[in-house]
Structure 1
Amino acid sequence: MLTFNKNYFGFAILIFLIEVLIALYIHDRFVRPYLGDVLVVILMYCFLKSFLKLPVLNVVLAVLAFSFTIEFLQFLNIVEKLGLEKSKIARTIIGTSFSWIDLLTYIIGITVVLIIEKYWHKKQMIEN
């Protein structure tokens, strides 16, 4: 179950760097709020797959459940309820505003993962 997959880890680092660049330099109404959310679930998936040898579907469902949970906590204003509204780190990591569209972006990101994984596995079977 525990493993190290350098390919997934490399993708995780690349996506993390893209997310940091988006956070620091892009302040628009599409890339930062939507593409950033699509990428964050792909980042979490790649990071988990870097260290855990689990079936794709299990990891996809875990990432989606975690993402939805965080969004639901935003709906409950958890940052304020925990007294962390002055913490920039808490506000950035947990977030502060619930959005139905965010749930859709997470689903889109997971769909991208599923499509890539399906293509990747099909390509590996052809090569073997």
Structure 2
Amino acid sequence: MRFDKGYAALTGALLVTEILIALFVRDAIVRPYVGDALAVVLVYAGLRTVTRLGVLPAVALALLTAIVIEFGQYFHLLDHIGLSDNRWARIILGSGFDPQDFVAYAAGALSVVLAERYRRASRAAAGTRTVRSPSDSSSTI
């Protein structure tokens, strides 16, 4: 286990952004699609904050988490566990299944891969040395 301050800061900023979107944005683009894409990035950043998972395993786990939550919405999980009236549960886990959300989740995952690739290329061009753990598969992207 580890703690990465940079990913922690990103996780915090994304969490605040997601909460603000959920509470105050009522539109047809940002709330349903940008918010869902950012949710995958949020989970990814959280994973990278506290684990030594590489880019691809962490983004795959973040994407899988979003997909599992979406299927939880399809099967009305909040109703089954008695949290359908809990506002925070509805904000965090969502309340309605939408197959288009899978596209937003994929876009979030793709944006992570592209951002990490750009970050690695920028560091290489600047001559910045990065320290990688043996489990960091980010060198494969």
Mapped to 1, the partners of 2:68 and 2:112 lie a distance apart of: 19
Structure 2 residue aligned with 1:26: 25
Mapped to 1, the partners of 2:83 and 2:6 lie a distance apart of: 36
1:80 aligns with 2:73: no
1:99 aligns with 2:98: yes
1:109 aligns with 2:108: yes
SS in 1 for 2:72: helix
Mapped to 2, the partners of 1:113 and 1:6 lie a distance apart of: 18
The CA deviation at 1:12 is 1.1
Further displaced range: 77-86 or 109-118: 77-86
Contact 2:22 2:91 in 1 (8 A): no
How many residues were matched structurally? 127
Scaled by the length of structure 2, what TM-score is found?
Answer: 0.84
Structure 2 residue aligned with 1:16: 15
The CA deviation at 1:127 is 2.2
Mapped to 2, the partners of 1:24 and 1:93 lie a distance apart of: 11
SS in 2 for 1:97: coil
The CA deviation at 1:98 is 0.8
The residue identity in structure 1 corresponding to 2:40 is V
Structure 2 residue aligned with 1:6: 5
The residue identity in structure 1 corresponding to 2:64 is A
The CA deviation at 1:70 is 0.6
Question: In proportion to residue count, which structure has more helix?
Answer: 1
Structure 1 residue aligned with 2:66: 67
The CA deviation at 1:74 is 0.8
The residue identity in structure 2 corresponding to 1:30 is I
Mapped to 1, the partners of 2:22 and 2:83 lie a distance apart of: 20
Scaled by the length of structure 1, what TM-score is found?
Answer: 0.92
The residue identity in structure 1 corresponding to 2:37 is V
What do the CA deviations read for 1:73-126 (whole angstroms, capped 9, x no partner)? 111111112232222222222222111111110000000000000111112222
Show structure 1 runs of 5+ residues with no match: none
The residue identity in structure 1 corresponding to 2:33 is Y
The percentage of counterpart residues that share the same residue type is 33
